[in-house]
Amino acid sequence: MLETLADECDALGVDLSDEQLALARERAPAATLARGDLTRLPVADDAVDAVTALHSVIHVPREHHGRAFAEFARVLRPGGHLLLTTGVGEWEGENDDWLDSGAAMQWSFHGRERSLELLDSAGFDVTEEAVRDDELGGGEWLFVRARLRG
């Protein structure tokens, strides 16, 4: 799924964390990346062909997920692609020393059904879904590929 999307269009990756952006630059040096808040993206309207939100929306309080999805729709051109991960089930949690890094981490996500409803409300048609185990042993992730209607 990831290789196909990268081959088809230009993508934008956004994260609040400078450390995560540095890792992304190492692993995908040709990718376009920006530091920003998913509910107020630093991108013009109808500016990009694709948005990737891998393991990022899950760190936005779930009451703001609809706003994040609306932002994805705002910056995408009609027919644009979205690739994101979210939780399979509803969950919230936190860890004050995530991966022994000294950094706090928080998670907040709806279950599959509500996430898909919010995507639909934001103007997306889901084209592909896949459930994958969490590589850190914390459960499962829902990978969603969608296209903006219009």
4/13: higher pLDDT = 13
Give yes or no for residue 29 having a pLDDT over 80: yes
Number of domains in the chain: 1
Beta strands in the chain (DSSP E): 11-15, 32-35, 48-53, 76-87, 91-95, 105-109, 124-133, 140-148
* pLDDT per residue as tens digits for the range 96-150: 987 788 888 898 999 999 999 999 999 999 999 999 988 877 789 999 999 999 8
Note down the domain range covering 40. 2-148
CATH code of the domain in which 129 resides: 3.40.50.150
* pLDDT per residue as tens digits for the range 82-97: 999 999 999 999 989 8
CA angle 42, 36, 68 (to 5 degrees): 80
Q: Virtual CA dihedral for 86, 91, 97, 103, nearest 10 degrees?
A: 50
19/39: higher pLDDT = 39
